[in-house]
Amino acid sequence: MDRDWWRGSVTYQIYPRSFQDSNGDGIGDLPGITRRLPLIADLGVDAVWLSPVFRSPMVDMGYDVSDHRDIDPVFGTLRDFDAMVTEAHRLGLRVIIDQVLNHTSVEHPLFRESRQSRDNPRADWYVWADPRPDGTPPNNWQSVFGGPAWEWDARRFQYYFHNFMVAQPDLNFHNPEVQDWALDTLRFWLDRGVDGFRFDTVNFFFHDSALRDDAADPRRKPRPAFKTYDMQYHLFSKNQPENLPFLHRIRTLLDSYGAAVSVGEVGESHHPIEMMGEYTSGNRLHMAYSFEMMEDRFSAAFFRDTLARFRRLAPEGWPCWAFSNHDVPRHATRWAQHAADPDRFAKLCAMLLLSFEGSICLYQGEELGQTQTDLSLDEVIDPQGRAFWPEDKGRDGCRTPMVWESRAPHGGFTTGTPWLPVKDPQRDHAMDLQFDVPVSVRDTYKAMLTLRHNEPALRTAPTQFLDTPEPVLAFRRGDLLCAFNLSPERAGLDLRGSGQPLLSQDADWTGGTLTLGPNGTLIARAS
């Protein structure tokens, strides 16, 4: 049992609806995941993370859970889940599953009971508040999905709080019984053999019990944000100090199971790096990630400053970095203006991300250089996209099905009609096109994962940055030199010494000069 296996680990995120359909209904499922696990294991990652597969009305694609301890029939059964975990373990993969504890579905039995009256056994399990004298909500808190974060309920003559959709009421973690219920839910899955949890919206669990108004966002903007949520500085609707002792309770439970781990999603725009550090220090979460590297920023200064700031602010904390996930446009498209060509850029991103200090998460299809799918409004299912189109086209573009076979109907994802379309630009990055091709994108990911596994410095050594001008990012980790040209133009720099190249793309280090071609990269053992 290696309790520290997660330090420097690489996790592969599976979005189950879009991974592999096994029964022709157009939606991915657990047997489909089990079928494809050997390809993930062959890539060389340490673990898989599954987005929610629990019972749900699917208003928010499974993040509105109606039963935290059962599998939704669209994905299979508990027996299918157990079979998937067994196969993953046989292949040497650990299994991390999503836990959506901040809120439930309105169809959850707990909420159905809570809303019946003000004095039933679950009355205080959710966040309820009386209206102001004029009937308006108790404060100005806004929902991530738009508009006030309060919904009137005529059964109790009160408002309930929802940080997200109206159909996702927030649980009241100030109630110790709610905390105990959440920990019991974790025990249920740990006893089934899972190796850890990814906690959705981990900084949202607690709200200010005095219901004080949030402040206006102090950052000046040229015009109002299209989301009212983004006009506020969320001092009281989330990020409360009571979160920290509850995270300690989670850690204590996980430690009692040996090598079980936790990774938290920090949804915060004002001070995400600081919060990642706070949440992973002091025996709380093992790892945390924010959306810091999943935005439009792409420069040597940005990556250097972000990595250095985390280590400076949280010397005892541990980050988990990602370039893409199921909530943001794929980085191959998001950063396309920096690409010499799509494949070269995808390989650059692979070597860049997998050389970072901390742990890493890869999103399904990333290893193929997969791009964002361009969808029309009539094809969009995501409620966020439908609410904010065209300013925000939603999250469906990064959630379209995996393409396994370029010429098969629907890319080999399903024999039925897929829940989201498979389009030709995505077929160009099919899995079967990555084999028997010299140095494919997938080959580069595999080679880099092998290097990270074989070189302890890439997993745990501290980062020492070199003073390099844009667009070159360069640093040392132990005896390894890592250098990256983040532009589509050739770049060079004076660099004394020499080394043994371990993995490179269009790089030459001779005579005290390092020359990097467009999106060129070099990882070498320096002498």
Beta carbons of 288 and 261 less than 8 angstroms apart: no
**What is the Cα–Cα distance from 173 to 103, expressed in whole angstroms?**
10
Contact 89, 40 (CB under 8 A): no
Note the residue count of the chain. 527
- Asked if 499 and 527 touch (Cβ cutoff 8 Å), the reply is yes
Active-site amino acid positions:
200, 265
Residues 401 and 410: beta-carbon distance below 8 Å: yes
Q: Which 3 state secondary structure label does DSSP give 32?
A: helix
Phi/psi at 245 (5° precision): -65, -30
Report which of 90, 59, 261, 88 is spatially closest to residue 164, judged by C-alpha positions: 59
- Identify which of 128, 256, 271 has the alpha carbon closest to the alpha carbon of residue 186: 256
Distance in angstroms (rounded) separating the CA atoms of residues 517 and 501: 15
DSSP H or E segment with residue 526:
strand 513-526
Q: What is the dihedral of CA 461, 466, 472, 477, to 10 degrees?
A: -10
Give yes or no for a cis peptide into 272 (omega within 30° of 0).
no
Task: Render 238-293 in DSSP notation, one character per residue.
Answer: S--TTHHHHHHHHHHHHHTTSS-EEEEE---SSSHHHHHHHHTSSSS-SEEE-STT
Q: Are strands 150-153 and 463-465 parallel, antiparallel or unpaired?
A: unpaired
Q: Which residue has the tokens 């994802």?
A: 413
